[in-house]
Structure 1
Amino acid sequence: MRMVFRWYGKGNDSVTLDQIRQIPGVEGIVWALHDMPAGEEWPMEKILEVKRQAEEYGFNVDVVESVNVHEDIKLGLPTRDKYIENYKRTIEKLAKVGVKVICYNFMPVFDWTRTDLAKKLEDGSTALFYETSKVDHMDPIDLVNKIAKNPDFTMPGWEPERLSKLSSLFEAYKNVTEEDLWHNLKYFLEQIIPVAEVNDIKMAIHPDDPPWSVFGLPRIITNKENLRRFLKLVDSPYNCLTLCSGSLGANPENNIGEMVREFADRIAFAHIRNVRIYENGDFVETSHRACDGSLDIVDIVKAYHENNFTGYARPDHGRHIWNEKCRPGYGLYDRALGIMYIWGIWDTLEKLKKEES
């Protein structure tokens, strides 16, 4: 297992590379050009600048999260080929600086969704929270009016340029079914994976978060059966998964340990985090410790260890602790604690393995 840490870039992240360097076992940063609109080709000079910044502190840039997929590709519009060509050229450029994994998602309109970015927990820390009834009774088009009245209004994971086009995007997806989305994803993969193979980069799709339809939009990377179907769309060792325990684990029917054991050879990137699920379907993100949430993090790490996982892993979201002011879910302290918890499990399993041999 190769531990990495997500970093949003100099000037955009409260966490510094010097701080990340002090977390034991972290060898690389997970990065992206976050100022690049979806569908645009990434400029080489910006890629090289991130590589230079990382290498100054001894980090690799092996993992990119994310090269976002343009909505026209997801919608299957005639204009998609232009954006796919840009995507291919970006893959080629990233290969030149040593990138080995590109994480991306295929969620329509927006990324991960929460209703509260700072839900207070029993110990005084705060965390990302999803309230089912609030989402179920929210008219997303009303968000347009809220944004117009309050320019500071934001939704987590929603790109600013998409918020301004929210009404037209929902209209565009009105008649798009899950099968349509599967078809458009297959088209994208058939174009992209051959380029990834030539450039020795694994494309690792991220699950939908949460793993069910939100605001009536289709979502397909949601459970074990759909992960099987996805991997068969283009059956290549370069068509891979980013297995996020917290995203898939928000549905109690998803057994993450079982998924790791079944798909281990196609997992290029592991996101390891915990969530506490409530009976009404709400969930909140917790510490990584197994007993603090609903997921058996010990078994999840054990599943990776059993399969001699040599891919990349990161602690994913963390709580906000010790009065840290940071990007929601992406502070330093709790993610560093999460890494040490994961290493503690891993090192114990390594010791037991040696004693048994």
Structure 2
Amino acid sequence: MRMVFRWFGTGNDTVSLAQIRQIPGVEGIVWALHHLPAGEVWPLEEIMKVKEEADAFGLHLEVVESVNVHEDIKLGRPSRDRYIENYKQTIEHLAKVGVKTICYNFMPVFDWVRTDLHKELPDGSTAMFYEKQKIDKIDPKELINKINENPNFTMPGWEPERLAHLSKLFESYRGVTEEHLLENLKYFLDEIIPVAERYGIRMALHPDDPPWSIFGLPRIVGTHDQLRRILQLVDSPYHGLTLCTGSLGANPQNDLAAMIREFADRIPFVHIRNIRRYDNGDFIETSHRVTDGSIDIPGVVRALHEVNFQGYARPDHGRQIWDEECRPGYGLYDRALGIMYLWGIWDSLQRS
């Protein structure tokens, strides 16, 4: 297991590379050019700037999260070919700085959904919260305003410029079924995977978050059977998954350890976080400790150890603790605590 840490870039993150380097066992950053709209080619000179920054602190750039997929690709519009060609060029540029894994998603319109970014937990910390009843009733535009109410910390996947034409986006997806979306994913993969193979970069599809339909939009990456079907679309080790315990774990029917054991050779990247599920469909993110949530984190790490997992792992969203001012879910303190919890489990398995 190779530990990495998500970083949003100089001037866009409260956590510094100097701090990341001090977390035991962290060898690289999970990064992206967040200011670029989906569909644009990532310029090599901008990529090289990030490499220079990371090199100065002995951190690698082997994992990118994410090269966003343009909505025209998801919708299967004629213009998708132009955006796919841009994607291929970006893969070529990323290979020049040693990138080995690209995490991406195929979620229509919204990358992820929460109703509260600062829900208070009993210990006084705050965390991101999903309230099912609110989602069932809220206007998506109202949700966008809520997510982006703090202009200092734009949330990945909720960039205001990307969602500025929300009504048109929803209209575009009218009549698009899960089968249509799956067909469009296959078209994308058929084009992209040969290029990824050529440059030695593994594509790692992130699950839907949460793993069910919201606002009537189709979603196809949320269950064991769906993951299996998606991996069968293209038979290549370069077509893989980002196994996210928080996303998939929101559905109590998902057996995360079983997924790891079945798809082991197709998982180059894992996101490990804990959530507490409630019977009414709500869930809140918690510390990584198993007793704080509903996810069997030791069981997940044990399954990774059993399959001799040698890919990348990162602690996913943390709580905001100790009065830290940071992007919700992406502070230093709780994610660093999470890393040490994960290493503790891993090290105990190694010794036994």
TM-score by length of 2: 0.97
1:200 alignment partner AA: G
| Identity score, percent | 72
For 1:19-74, what per-residue CA distance to the aligned partner results, in whole angstroms no more than 9, with x for missing partners? 00110000000000000100000000000000000010000000000000000000
Listed as ranges, the matches of 1:48-127 within 5 Å are: 48-127=48-127
Distance 1:325 1:150 in 2: 12
Taking a change above 3 Å as real, the CA distance of residues 202 and 172 of structure 1, as seen in their structure-2 partners, is same
Taking a change above 3 Å as real, the CA distance of residues 131 and 265 of structure 1, as seen in their structure-2 partners, is same
Number of aligned residue pairs: 352
Distance 1:266 1:284 in 2: 28
Distance 1:110 1:267 in 2: 23
How far off is 1:140 after superposition? Answer: 2.2
Taking a change above 3 Å as real, the CA distance of residues 144 and 225 of structure 1, as seen in their structure-2 partners, is closer
CA contact (8 A) 2:287 2:319 kept: yes
Which residue in 2 is equivalent to 1:230? 230
CA contact (8 A) 2:245 2:271 kept: yes
CA contact (8 A) 1:118 1:128 kept: yes
Counterpart secondary structure, 2:140: coil
Which residue in 2 is equivalent to 1:157? 157
Taking a change above 3 Å as real, the CA distance of residues 232 and 144 of structure 1, as seen in their structure-2 partners, is closer
Counterpart secondary structure, 2:127: strand
Counterpart secondary structure, 1:29: strand
Which residue in 1 is equivalent to 2:331? 331
1:44 alignment partner AA: L
Which residue in 1 is equivalent to 2:195? 195
Distance 2:256 2:334 in 1: 22
1:265 alignment partner AA: D
Distance 1:157 1:254 in 2: 24
**Alignment of 1:241 onto 2:241:** yes
Counterpart secondary structure, 1:234: coil
Counterpart secondary structure, 1:161: coil
Counterpart secondary structure, 2:336: helix
Counterpart secondary structure, 1:33: coil
Distance 1:37 1:165 in 2: 14
Which residue in 2 is equivalent to 1:186? 186
Listed as ranges, the matches of 1:276-291 within 5 Å are: 276-291=276-291
Counterpart secondary structure, 1:241: strand
Which residue in 2 is equivalent to 1:261? 261
Distance 1:170 1:107 in 2: 13
Which residue in 2 is equivalent to 1:309? 309
CA contact (8 A) 1:7 1:30 kept: yes
Counterpart secondary structure, 1:162: coil
CA contact (8 A) 2:155 2:327 kept: no
How far off is 1:158 after superposition? Answer: 1.6
CA contact (8 A) 1:65 1:104 kept: yes
How far off is 1:155 after superposition? Answer: 7.6
How far off is 1:262 after superposition? Answer: 0.9
Distance 2:344 2:198 in 1: 37
Which residue in 2 is equivalent to 1:169? 169
How far off is 1:159 after superposition? Answer: 2.0
For 1:63-88, what per-residue CA distance to the aligned partner results, in whole angstroms no more than 9, with x for missing partners? 00000000000000000000000000
Counterpart secondary structure, 1:37: coil
Which residue in 1 is equivalent to 2:342? 342
For 1:298-319, what per-residue CA distance to the aligned partner results, in whole angstroms no more than 9, with x for missing partners? 0000000000000000001100
2:188 alignment partner AA: F
Taking a change above 3 Å as real, the CA distance of residues 155 and 100 of structure 1, as seen in their structure-2 partners, is closer
How far off is 1:225 after superposition? Answer: 0.3
Mean CA deviation greater in 308-317 or 156-165: 156-165
Distance 1:111 1:137 in 2: 19
Which residue in 2 is equivalent to 1:355? none
Taking a change above 3 Å as real, the CA distance of residues 267 and 203 of structure 1, as seen in their structure-2 partners, is same
Which residue in 2 is equivalent to 1:210? 210
Alignment RMSD:
2.0
Unaligned 5+ residue runs, structure 2? none
